[in-house]
Amino acid sequence: MKRYQHYIDGAFVDPAGQEWFETVNPYTAKPWAEIARGTAADMERAVDAAHLALHKGEWAAYTASQRGALLRRIGDLIAENAEFLAEVEVRDNGKLMAEMLGQLRYLPNYYYYYGGLADKIEGSVMPLDKKGYFAYSEYEPLGVIGIITPWNSPLNLTTWKLAPALAAGNTVVIKPSEFTSASMLELVSLIEKAGAPPGLVNVVTGFGADVGPALTDSPKVAKIAFTGSDETGRKIYAAAAKTMKHVTMELGGKSPNIIFDDANLEDAVNGAISGIFAATGQTCIAGSRLLVQNSIHDEVVERLVKIAGTARMGDPSRMETQVGPVTTMPQYEKVLSYIDIAKGEGARLVTGGFPAKRSECGNGWFVEPTIFDDVTADMRIAQEEVFGPVLSILRFDDEEDAIEIANNTIYGLAAGVWTADIARAFRMSKGLRAGTVWINTYRAISYMVPFGGYKQSGIGRENGAEMIKEYLQTKSVWIDIGAAKSNPFVQR
Ligand code: NAD
């Protein structure tokens, strides 16, 4: 079995404790590689290396244009190796090759985009209302950035943080999910090949509780950029507060996908399917609540059941597969437990609702695409994130009703609206409390478009030109160029 070491200070190294753990292929349910089991000692070493690289050595002397050039070289190497990286991700997280290949081929764009921004980070000269002074502001990197990511789209979600962090001149320590660490270690080999100086990018693997605190509590770390569950997010936010760190938090969702009776039903139903069964529902933006206008309810349910029942399940590495396994055993058990909860609450099961045992599913952790109808807003299945292929259908009467139901959760990550009426689309997008609203589409993502959550779905935004400021801090400089000498005991 292949062994993956940590990557610290420009070298692949064994864990201090010499312990390893197995990473499992969710399709075969068999281990395929060993991952270094990190301890606080490994994390401290990585943080020290990143801290040193920030102030001394090669990276500290890079010009902004050199940073941009490094990012472009990383992008080129990802483009050359996209297929290989996608294969590793599919083996480790069981997501569809069709999806991961698309994601990996798109990934270089983030490095090109933020690489292009690296030498366009410009400060300002203020006109000033006080005579005899000159004042300007400039941007500086925040410092060491801790990047903590989940298992569902490892390289994609890391890149959303890594590319702007490097473009802004920071150094980073990455802690990938213990379930899907392998692709990050393959990527860091490419980053090394691109010529990254030692200490710039460090990767420490292992379990959150073992290595996390040495990152989130360290006074040498300036910011934590986190994607993951809200439960872990709360812990990290509290830990970061102790040393007054910056944070970006991309957390969970219970996103509403809303179909009005004037919508193109074929597109809307496909959008609903893509919202919940793509990626086996394991995406923070899953449209897990489908709000359907009463007048079209029966037709929409009938169409959905037909597509869900005929979805091709099986080996995620085959391009024709439509629904793959759940990524982890605990997640598989969680999904099945939510199905029981929904049944117990009186939601009406219209399709699926059990582990998939078709022969194409091998020994993998598969759950049949599941749809519950007659779900009401007070049910747990309408309020809590399942993170699996389980759709809840809720009915509504009119726009006002739809907005009220849609906004009635602690989350606010995304929402979809299906309507042929442009004025209604605008009204709905204004009324929805969500960081992203898709009109007549779902799950569209770009490096140019800000992404993040309202309410308890998160803090801060990722992607888009402005978001590079999430990795910068402002310094203001005042120069006396002949100001009148004033009373030293009062403010100038
Ligand atoms: P998780 O919160 O369990 O783990 C995320 C990461 O945090 C892992 O790397 C884990 O090891 C680490 N971690 C755990 N405890 C830690 C601690 N005490 N200190 C530091 N790090 C710690 O999440 P998961 O189960 O891997 O991922 C699924 C969740 O992620 C879902 O809830 C989903 O909604 C969310 N998610 C959100 C987005 C988004 O952009 N908003 C995207 C993908 C996933």
pLDDT single digits (tens) 477-489: 999 999 999 899 9
Do 271 and 195 reside in the same domain of the chain? no
- Quote the ligand 1 centre to 457 CA distance (angstroms): 12
CATH classification at residue 169:
3.40.605.10
Q: Which atom of ligand 1 is nearest to the CA of 206?
A: 11
Residue-level pLDDT at 101: 97
Q: What is the pLDDT of residues 431-448, one digit of tens each?
A: 999 999 999 999 999 999
| CB of 438 sitting under 6 A from ligand 1 | no
Mean pLDDT of 323-346: 96
Residue 361 structural domain: 256-439
Q: Whose CA is nearest to atom 32 of ligand 1?
A: 229
State the Cα angle at 202 between 198 and 207, rounded to 5°: 160
Q: Whose CA is nearest to atom 38 of ligand 1?
A: 284
> Is there a domain that residue 195 lies in?
yes
- Quote the ligand 1 centre to 152 CA distance (angstroms): 9
Residue-level pLDDT at 317: 95
Contacts of 161 by beta carbon, 8 Å cutoff, 6+ apart: 145, 147, 149, 172, 225, 227, 248, 462
Q: Residues, the chain, total?
A: 492
Q: What is the pLDDT of residues 5-26, one digit of tens each?
A: 999 999 999 999 999 999 999 9
Q: Check whether 455 has a pLDDT greater than 90.
A: yes
> Is there a domain that residue 138 lies in?
yes
Fill in the DSSP letter of residue 447: T
- Quote the ligand 1 centre to 231 CA distance (angstroms): 8
Furthest CA-CA distance within the chain: 86
Q: Whose CA is nearest to atom 20 of ligand 1?
A: 212
- Quote the ligand 1 centre to 419 CA distance (angstroms): 34
> Is there a domain that residue 486 lies in?
no
One-letter-per-residue 3-state SS of 159-185: HHHHHHHHHCCCEEEEECCCCCCHHHH
| CB of 387 sitting under 6 A from ligand 1 | yes
CA atoms of 410 and 392, how far apart (whole Å): 17
Identify the weakest region by mean pLDDT among 288-297, 330-339, 356-365.
356-365
Do 344 and 463 reside in the same domain of the chain? no
> Is there a domain that residue 420 lies in?
yes
Q: Check whether 34 has a pLDDT greater than 90.
A: yes
Do 429 and 461 reside in the same domain of the chain? no
Do 427 and 301 reside in the same domain of the chain? yes
Residue-level pLDDT at 267: 98
Do 218 and 274 reside in the same domain of the chain? no
Residue-level pLDDT at 435: 98
CA atoms of 439 and 424, how far apart (whole Å): 10
Q: For the packed helices 182-193 and 64-80, what is the interaxial angle rounded to 10 degrees?
A: 120
Do 111 and 49 reside in the same domain of the chain? yes
Kindly calculate the radius of gyration of the chain based on its CA atoms and give it in whole angstroms.
24
CA atoms of 247 and 109, how far apart (whole Å): 24
Q: Check whether 362 has a pLDDT greater than 90.
A: no
Report whether 432 contacts 448 (CB < 8 A).
no
> Is there a domain that residue 452 lies in?
no
Q: What are the backbone angles phi and psi of residue 445, rounded to the nearest 5°?
A: -135, 140
Do 266 and 379 reside in the same domain of the chain? yes
Do 185 and 287 reside in the same domain of the chain? no
| CB of 205 sitting under 6 A from ligand 1 | no
Percent of the chain with pLDDT over 70: 100
- Quote the ligand 1 centre to 229 CA distance (angstroms): 4
* Mean confidence (pLDDT) of the chain: 97
Q: Which atom of ligand 1 is nearest to the CA of 284?
A: 34
CATH classification at residue 343:
3.40.309.10
Do 118 and 179 reside in the same domain of the chain? yes
Residue-level pLDDT at 271: 97
Do 465 and 388 reside in the same domain of the chain? no
Torsion (CA) 379, 380, 382, 383 in degrees, nearest 10: 120
Q: What is the pLDDT of residues 395-418, one digit of tens each?
A: 999 999 999 999 999 999 999 999
Q: Whose CA is nearest to atom 34 of ligand 1?
A: 252
Report whether 392 contacts 288 (CB < 8 A).
yes
Residue-level pLDDT at 425: 98
Report whether 160 contacts 463 (CB < 8 A).
yes
Q: Whose CA is nearest to atom 13 of ligand 1?
A: 208
CA atoms of 399 and 389, how far apart (whole Å): 27
- Quote the ligand 1 centre to 212 CA distance (angstroms): 11
Mean pLDDT of 33-60: 97
For residue 433, give both structure tokens.
Answer: 């409390």
Q: What is the pLDDT of residues 71-124, one digit of tens each?
A: 999 999 999 999 999 999 999 999 999 999 999 999 999 999 999 999 999 999
> Is there a domain that residue 40 lies in?
yes
Q: Indicate if the alpha-carbon torsion angle 321, 326, 327, 328 is positive or negative.
A: negative
| CB of 228 sitting under 6 A from ligand 1 | yes
Mean pLDDT of 65-73: 98
Structure-token match 């006396």, residue found:
480
- Quote the ligand 1 centre to 429 CA distance (angstroms): 28
Do 108 and 132 reside in the same domain of the chain? yes
Do 223 and 156 reside in the same domain of the chain? yes
Residue of 229, 236, 334, 467 to mutate, ligand 1, most atoms within 8 A of C-beta: 229
Residue-level pLDDT at 277: 95
Q: Catalytic pick from 89, 99, 192, 250?
A: 250
Q: Are strands 6-8 and 414-418 parallel, antiparallel or unpaired?
A: unpaired
Q: What is the pLDDT of residues 202-230, one digit of tens each?
A: 999 999 999 999 999 999 999 999 999 99
| CB of 462 sitting under 6 A from ligand 1 | no
How many domains are there within the chain? 2
CA atoms of 174 and 206, how far apart (whole Å): 11
Q: Which atom of ligand 1 is nearest to the CA of 207?
A: 11
Q: For the packed helices 64-80 and 154-167, what is the interaxial angle rounded to 10 degrees?
A: 160
> Is there a domain that residue 450 lies in?
no
Residue of 148, 180, 410 to mutate, ligand 1, most atoms within 8 A of C-beta: 148
Q: Per-residue confidence at 357, pLDDT binned at 50, 70, 90?
A: confident
| CB of 175 sitting under 6 A from ligand 1 | yes
Active site residue 361: no
Q: Check whether 142 has a pLDDT greater than 90.
A: yes
Of residues 198, 158, 187, the one with CA closest to residue 175: 158
Q: Catalytic pick from 89, 178, 192, 284?
A: 284
| CB of 132 sitting under 6 A from ligand 1 | no
